[in-house]
Chain A
Amino acid sequence: MTVWSRLRPYVMVAPSIAVFSIFFIYPIFYMIFLSFYNWDFINPVKEFVGFNNFVEMFQNSEFLQVLTNSLNYTILSVSLSIVISLGLAMWLNREGAWYGFVQGALFSPHIISLVSVSLVWMWLMDPKFGLLNAILEMFGMQKLDWLSSPDSSLLSLVLVAVWKGVGYNALIFIAGLQSIPKDMYEASALDEANRWRTFYKITLPMLSPTLFFLIIINLIGSFQVFETIAIMTNGGPVNSTNTLVFYIYEYGFRYFKIGYASAAGVVLLLVVGLLTLVYFKLLSRRVHYQ
């Protein structure tokens, strides 16, 4: 074997490794490095403070509130979005122009920019002039505060996230449903399985790779929610919608406490990494790959 033939694979992958290192690996390590310092972007001197940033952060009730918000937001939006989109997929998984149209309509939010979506939903949710309250009023129901009350603001953001994500999830679910062989259902019909047993014992296990994929993608995406919060609520009212990424952004680029923001970034990295790891370890065994 010549030197070249041994080197060739490494040379071939070098460009992508380089890009990956510069834009992903290096920033992660630099963030971890910064989390041990106090720095304001301008001062050439970075002051080493050890774990002080982390200690300060976990003693800060605001940060604990942010962590809880993130968790609540993620759990709510992922579970709602998965359940609703699975239901929609089961309903839409059939022939006909109408079903194709509904599928397309549901998917369209996915291709609209989140900024426009946020602005439109802000109008819809306006307590005085918004369409949603107008509808509620028309049916004689009590108006809601939507984004302007700490009790409902996080739920309102979840609503937007579910509305935006459901079409994409449903599309992937439909693809998964269509890959289940028809004779599986015929066999279960002959085996006298009722609808619930067929769903629970055949559809769900056969769909598990799709389900697994979507839950992971949605989990990570929800934990990193930023645009809707930045545009619609700015973390308020009373910190009720302040989540981890928005918190990092505020400390880093509004208060210029880069060390502190990096420490929060490390926490985000750990949480998302841990979630993924736990999910892979615990649940991948129950996923059926053919």
Chain B
Amino acid sequence: MAQIVLKQIEKSFKQEKIIENLNVTIEDGSFTVLVGPSGCGKSTTLRMIAGLEQQSGGEIWIGDKCVNGVEPGKRNVAMVFQNYALYPMMTVKENIEFGLVNRKVPKQERERLIKEITEIVGLSEYLNKKPQALSGGQRQRVALARAMVKNPAVFLMDEPLSNLDAKLRHQMRTELIQLHKRLGATFVFVTHDQVEAMSMGDRIVIMNKGQIQQADSPMKIYDDPDNVFTAQFIGTPPMNVIHREAIFPYMEGQLHSDIHQVGFRPEKAMMTMEKKPIAGCVQFSARILTRETLGAEIIYQLEAKLGLVAVKSFLKPLEFANEVQISVPMKDLYYFDHEGKRARQYERSEERELVALGGGYA
């Protein structure tokens, strides 16, 4: 098994610098998700680990070996591609077997491995079919089997679920988590979908514009974001972030001059009909624009003097009134400085409950 260390990684395409000074350690046996908007460099990072892309500078370590200049096949990694990249002219069996033959694994051993792996992924009946005769989910499994049969220390997955329909994606998510537990290998998973990241990873690396914004466990990132980008990227709907000038009149004058933006999670806001002051709360009135009824939870989009705000309520009846009062406890406010970084020293978060309700919904 192996941990992956990226040291001062740089990557440029022609003149353009995509990634600069990237440092991250992916722990041995972890399920690490690289997540970020398109073009943030997450796929490029993954492909550099695989050796399919050469970094312009820096070092990549897999286990206790620096793999700079090592061919992809010799890095003890396996990869699952977004469009599976199965060999269309080979049967399922030949697809899985191809790497083993190249590695000169004896025939008996190959047969045993293929039998074992295809049983795990449930492909035993399809061994002699060609990929085009299979459904999307089955192709995905072939791609997984092809990766698993190498018994690599590291599994690299580049948005492997994005071509599946919603239901199948859900199912494969669970299966991948179980597979990770069973194999104990290091999984590095790239996605642009924050829900996928939150639900699968035991560690999330959030990237934007070639830089790591935050790397931590999902709940830590949700409860304690390092900056505005992370705060708004994780969570549906995203955190409400309001400019200093807009929220200042509601803050009873207690706002340090270093604080540039103030944020709160939609589920931390309380919605009431009557206007009555509650101690230690920021309060304002708002008009309901839309109501998204999702069952257990309802999301309201509100318009207030301080801007547009989203509020999430749980297991409460639908609110029909037009005008409502919003109260947000001061302890649930997040402060951000001029560079968008958290200004924790000014927060009254010592009493904050670090239990977030619901990571999101699909």
The answer to whether B85 touches A194 (Cβ under 8 A) is no
The answer to whether B71 touches A189 (Cβ under 8 A) is yes
Q: A206-B89, A290-B88, A290-B132 are in contact. Are A186 and B102 (CB under 8 A)?
A: no
- Chain A residue nearest in CB terms to B132: A290
The answer to whether A189 touches B73 (Cβ under 8 A) is yes
Cα A288 to Cα B73 with chains together (Å)? 26
The answer to whether A288 touches B85 (Cβ under 8 A) is no
Return the contact of A189 from the options B52, B83, B89, B90 (Cβ within 8 A). B52
| CB-defined contacts of B85 to chain A, threshold 8 Å | 181, 183-184, 186-187
The answer to whether A184 touches B87 (Cβ under 8 A) is yes
| CB-defined contacts of B87 to chain A, threshold 8 Å | 184, 187-188, 201-202
The answer to whether B102 touches A190 (Cβ under 8 A) is no
Cα A206 to Cα B90 with chains together (Å)? 11
Query: Beta-carbon contacts of B65-89 to A below 8 Å, as 1s and 0s?
Result: 0000001111001110101011111
Return the contact of A190 from the options B77, B83, B90, B132 (Cβ within 8 A). B77
Q: Which of A183, A187, A188, A190 has the most CB of B within 10 A?
A: A190
Q: Does B112 contact A (CB under 8 A)?
A: no
The answer to whether A188 touches B98 (Cβ under 8 A) is yes
Q: A192-B73, A193-B98, A194-B102 are in contact. Are A288 and B83 (CB under 8 A)?
A: no
Chain B 82-121 interface residues, beta-carbon cutoff 8 Å to A: 83, 85-90, 98-99, 102-103
| CB-defined contacts of B150 to chain A, threshold 8 Å | 191
Q: Does B221 contact A (CB under 8 A)?
A: no
Chain A 189-225 interface residues, beta-carbon cutoff 8 Å to B: 189-194, 197, 201-202, 205-206, 208
| CB-defined contacts of A184 to chain B, threshold 8 Å | 85, 87
The answer to whether A190 touches B89 (Cβ under 8 A) is no
| CB-defined contacts of A190 to chain B, threshold 8 Å | 50, 52, 72-73, 77-79, 99
Cα A208 to Cα B103 with chains together (Å)? 26
Q: Which of B52, B86, B132 has the most CB of A within 10 A?
A: B52
| CB-defined contacts of A197 to chain B, threshold 8 Å | 102
Return the contact of A187 from the options B51, B81, B89, B103 (Cβ within 8 A). B81
Counting chain A residues whose Cβ lies within 8 A of the other chain, the interface size class is: 20 to 34
The answer to whether B83 touches A192 (Cβ under 8 A) is no
- Chain A residue nearest in CB terms to B77: A190
| CB-defined contacts of B72 to chain A, threshold 8 Å | 186, 189-190
Cα A186 to Cα B86 with chains together (Å)? 11
| CB-defined contacts of A183 to chain B, threshold 8 Å | 81, 83, 85
Q: A184-B87, A288-B89 are in contact. Are A191 and B102 (CB under 8 A)?
A: yes
Chain B 163-203 interface residues, beta-carbon cutoff 8 Å to A: none
Return the contact of B103 from the options A186, A192, A288 (Cβ within 8 A). A192
The answer to whether B88 touches A193 (Cβ under 8 A) is no
- Chain A residue nearest in CB terms to B158: A183
**Nearest CB in chain B: distance from A185 CB, A:** 9
Cα A183 to Cα B143 with chains together (Å)? 12
Cα A206 to Cα B98 with chains together (Å)? 16
- Chain B residue nearest in CB terms to A205: B89
**Nearest CB in chain A: distance from B123 CB, A:** 17
Cα A51 to Cα B14 with chains together (Å)? 73
Cα A7 to Cα B87 with chains together (Å)? 47
| CB-defined contacts of B103 to chain A, threshold 8 Å | 192
**Nearest CB in chain A: distance from B159 CB, A:** 12
- Chain B residue nearest in CB terms to A194: B102
Cα A288 to Cα B103 with chains together (Å)? 25
Cα A193 to Cα B98 with chains together (Å)? 8
- Chain A residue nearest in CB terms to B94: A201
The answer to whether A186 touches B81 (Cβ under 8 A) is yes
Return the contact of B98 from the options A194, A201, A208 (Cβ within 8 A). A201
| CB-defined contacts of B78 to chain A, threshold 8 Å | 190
The answer to whether A192 touches B89 (Cβ under 8 A) is no
Cα A208 to Cα B88 with chains together (Å)? 12
Q: Which of B50, B88, B150 has the most CB of A within 10 A?
A: B88
Can you add 20 more A-B contacts, CB < 8 Å, to A187-B79, A192-B73? A183-B81, A184-B85, A184-B87, A186-B50, A188-B87, A188-B98, A189-B51, A190-B72, A190-B77, A190-B78, A190-B79, A192-B71, A193-B73, A197-B102, A201-B87, A201-B90, A206-B88, A206-B89, A290-B88, A290-B132
Can you list 14 A-B pairs, Cβ within 8 angstroms, ordered by A?
A184-B85, A186-B81, A187-B79, A188-B98, A192-B74, A192-B102, A192-B103, A193-B99, A194-B102, A197-B102, A201-B98, A206-B88, A206-B89, A290-B88
Closest 8 CB pairs of A and B: A192-B73, A191-B99, A183-B85, A288-B89, A205-B89, A187-B85, A189-B72, A192-B102
